[in-house]
Chains A and B, each alone.
Chain A
Amino acid sequence: MKNIDQSRIFDLTDYKRQDFSVCLGCKICASVCTVNDLSESTNPQEILQKLFLGKNIPSDDHLVRYCTGCYRCTGACPWNIRIPEVIRALREELATRSPFEKAFKDSVSIWGRVYEPYVIIMAIPFLLKGGYIKHMTRWTEYMGIHLPHKVKRA
């Protein structure tokens, strides 16, 4: 585990620390986060809080790994806090990339655009491993493929 320098994280986002620390702690971000659609229980607010408290964030933190950069959290957040930018900075600092991001980036470098079938193929091992296939309907939406889906009953 690498020690992270929290001020550097905020510097990397081109955004001031105080724009993040205005967070209310309402956890609305967690209620809409795409990673939670897949399966893991992640709370973006906790990442912020860990940074404010100077706590370590492990590089295998689920959010750091799987955040899709969909900005759903930002859209729903009362303060429009740009969490994915913090996460991107964290990745840079921790030198990790999500399987999605890797697939997206490779796709762009090969075809010059996001080629969905490629992304899916590249992400399949991860999906199978995590048992995430059952949530496929949801995350495919964020990649522009719209399959009909039903709302899950509690």
Chain B
Amino acid sequence: MNVLIIGGGISGISAAKVALKGNHTVTILESSAEPGGLMARIANCRVGFKTFFDEIRDNERLTLISDAKIAKVDKKEDKTFAVTLEDGRALAADKVIIATGLTPYDPVEYKGKRVLTSLEYDAVIDQRQGELPADFNNIGFFLCVGSRSKDYPLCSSVCCSYTLREVKWTLQRAKPEITVFYNDLRFFGQEFYMEKAFRDAGVKFVRANSRYFEEDEKGVTVRYFAGGQLKEERFNYVVLAIGLRPNPQLAELSNLFGFSMNEYGFVNENAPLQTDVEGVYASGGALEPMNIKDSILTGFGAGLVAVKGPEILAKAEGHDERLYREDEPEFVLSDGNTTTCLFYLGTENPGNGMFYEFVSSKFIEAARDLRKAGKAVYVLTRNMVTPSYGEITYEEARREGIVFIHLEEDETVAFDGDRVRIAREGRELIFNADKVIRFDDYAKLLKDREYLSLYRSEPQLRWSPTKWGRKRYHVGFIRHPRDKRWEKREFLGALGEMILDHEEDRILPEVNEERCSGCGSCKDSCPHNAIEIIFEEKTISVFGPNNSTKVPIAHVKDDTCVSCGLCASVCPSDVISFP
């Protein structure tokens, strides 16, 4: 089968990998001179992309055409495509994958020599570009530039996370004072712990935004409003976390191939990872703003569904026992004779942070229902995590008259029966609500599950987006609790990832059962949860006659262990070894 992939970014390459593994012929069309897309423009991601791409670069069934532009597409009777490029080359394609990615917003009206976009700032802190500027003492980051607005109502999903990463890279090279100005902090999984660590390290977070940037040769004066007051502060550099918008070239491709687009300029997803034209699939930033790990995930999925056909989903679902899913807990809101409801979307526990996304969407859903039933609804938010299309639902909720109160960092909330009191210096707001619904009560329902996104770090999730263990791939809620539309995409992505997984020769650790004391140190150290403590019947003779009893012994689960060797290194009695 000939698979044509349009776009040589990380998502297109991921799709190519899966198709090549299935012995198909793959052509990648890249409109620029080099593959890589946005990832190749980010200093710390460039190498990752290259390593990933190098694995297929020399594959003889792969053709990469750079500087390519499609002139004409003919749809044949047999539902295949004849594609002609502008240089006259003709290509035959059985299946097409649209992976044209995202376009970063360009805030021309605010940019300057010291007011930089994240992409520009990235070049400043890039090791390879040499020394940091001499005056690098005070940096301000401003989120949501060019997103969540009238001309682009979606949340760009990644700018909060990449800002966190830029903070990290900055702190690795220098120790400037850093302030992050945010509307909401839309992080993913473990990033909430990173946030906590940076706060502890002195990074300031301010829940206010600004567009007052007065630049001169020495720095930038910024005004913002917080704590009931206008504040003015000087920064050496200001970084604007620019949003990611749809690629304008999608419109052209939509004309050529005949698939439709939604009102925001992304591909209309007819069925998971499929456009509404048979044989044309989509992945990565062509679908919606998404991060690298999701671009890889959807790339794997699109590559798979393109070569196996949409039927694969029904065939695998419920039949392939490597695919592991769990149901989400029921979210019941008893609504008696209430007239005023108040939701508190905030937690002091960073361990609950990763549930913000799920709980935010559930709260909005419930709040809208209550509002439709004519109740007064208030939502106090410390953080509202509604990435991508979720922001549209949030916008509708605001328009419908649900009142959202944005709590600033130093504002406290006290609950006293029906009375809720918000306070800070100079402001006091009191609400009387006959029903108060709190975040932590719902986060409790979600805890103590083996969420992949909680157990894996960002790079691990990036390169193997669904793999939990050798025979278990997490999809849907148990991978990462978020909107339902992701579950089917993850199913496909996991199937793609399985194809790529090669059985490497692993050496498993061996436990000397005679000497193991069952202390559990190895269990605690294992990053993959591959050790269980089992109780075995054992005959022991201490004094006098033999006694039979149960003793704890470490046991390695061979389908989960990745042979990292950590357990062997921590065992206090040295009973774990590698043969």
Contact = CB atoms under 8 A, between A and B. Distances in A.
Interface of A: 17-18, 21-28, 30-32, 36, 41-43, 45, 49, 52-53, 76, 78-80, 151-154
A71 B398 CA distance: 23
Contacts of B406: 25
B150 A17 contact: no
B221 A22 contact: no
Contacts, number: 87
B401 A28 contact: no
A49 B216 CA distance: 35
B394 to A, nearest CB: 9
Contacts of B230: 30-31, 36, 41-42
B148 A41 contact: no
Given A27-B208, A30-B225, A41-B230, A21 B144 contact: no
Contacts of B401: 17-18, 21, 52
Contact of B148 (A24, A42, A76): A24
Nearest to A73: B211
A42 B228 CA distance: 8
Interface of B: 144, 148-150, 183, 208-212, 214, 216, 221-226, 228-230, 232-234, 395, 398-401, 403-406, 429
Contacts of A26: 144, 183, 208-209
What 3 pairs across the A-B complex have the smallest Cβ distances?
Answer: A30-B225, A78-B149, A25-B406
Given A53-B403, A79-B149, A41 B229 contact: yes
A28 B210 contact: yes
B398 A32 contact: no
B233 A154 contact: yes
A31 B224 contact: yes
11 contacts: A18-B398, A22-B395, A22-B399, A25-B404, A26-B209, A27-B225, A30-B224, A30-B225, A32-B223, A41-B225, A43-B225
A102 B572 CA distance: 84
A140 B441 CA distance: 54
B405 A28 contact: no
A31 B405 contact: no
Nearest to B210: A31
B211 A28 contact: yes
B216 A151 contact: yes
Contacts of A21: 398-399, 401, 403
A142 B221 CA distance: 20
A47 to B, nearest CB: 13
Given A21-B401, A151-B221, 14 more contacts: A17-B401, A22-B395, A22-B398, A22-B399, A25-B405, A26-B208, A27-B208, A27-B226, A31-B210, A36-B230, A52-B401, A152-B232, A153-B234, A154-B232
Nearest to B429: A53
A154 B222 CA distance: 10
A27 B232 contact: no
B209 A41 contact: no
A45 B221 CA distance: 22
Contact of A76 (B144, B150, B211, B400): B211
Nearest to B406: A25
